[in-house]
Chains A and B, each alone.
Chain A
Amino acid sequence: SQTIHQWPATLVQPVGSPLSLECTVEGTSNPNLYWYRQAAGRGLQLLFYSVGIGQISSEVPQNLSASRPQDRQFILSSKKLLLSDSGFYLCAWSPHSREQYFGPGTRLTVT
């Protein structure tokens, strides 16, 4: 069966510090991968999606970036965090032409 992992689970970072969140999927190959952000009490905002290694599409211009160095690894990064980057970050994967499956999320607080 397939599983999706995210780490860390929680993170507290000062403004201006770098960020690296990691997501990995097991038990499948060549999945579509997604990064979402969920602000407190609000819906999902799609940040990035990827249909293959090195293929990243950005949905929202911001100070975040994403990379997919391996087939089942998706990384969300920032060089300098802003207060507005605080939120709940969710990684998801999808078999092609199927539903999405979400990871457990990372709670990021920028102070």
Chain B
Amino acid sequence: GDSVTQMEGPVTLSEEAFLTINCTYTATGYPSLFWYVQYPGEGLQLLLKATKADDKGSNKGFEATYRKETTSFHLEKGSVQVSDSAVYFCALRNTGNQFYFGTGTSLTVIP
């Protein structure tokens, strides 16, 4: 069945460090891919999305590129800030309109 696998956390970085959170997926057809962010005590917020191969989603300095050949959608940011501390979820929507989420990666950025 369809699934999403993302890197285990927690991840701790110093401010201004480079961030990569790996995400790979298994799906038939051509799923849409998403990254969500969850701040403590809140719901998930859509961070970025990509709907077809080679699309790059970007928002708030975060980027992810839909790589069909490696079935990946890794999240990157060039310079993290303390305010980026949160849990990040990779997700897909398959052609049957079903959603699958990764288990989440906790990021802590220290000053």
Contacts and interface: CB of A to CB of B under 8 A. Distances in A.
Interface of A: 6, 32, 34, 42-44, 46, 90, 92, 94, 96-97, 99-105, 107
Contact of B97 (A43, A92, A96): A96
B55 to A, nearest CB: 13
A9 to B, nearest CB: 9
Interface of B: 32, 34, 36, 41-46, 49, 89, 91, 93, 97, 99, 101-104
Given A102-B44, A102-B45, A104-B42, A97 B97 contact: yes
Interface SS majority for chain A: strand
17 contacts: A32-B97, A34-B99, A42-B104, A43-B89, A43-B101, A43-B104, A44-B89, A90-B43, A94-B97, A99-B46, A99-B49, A100-B93, A101-B46, A102-B36, A102-B43, A105-B41, A107-B41
Contacts of A99: 32, 34, 46, 49, 93
B53 to A, nearest CB: 17
A97 B99 CA distance: 10
A32 B97 CA distance: 10
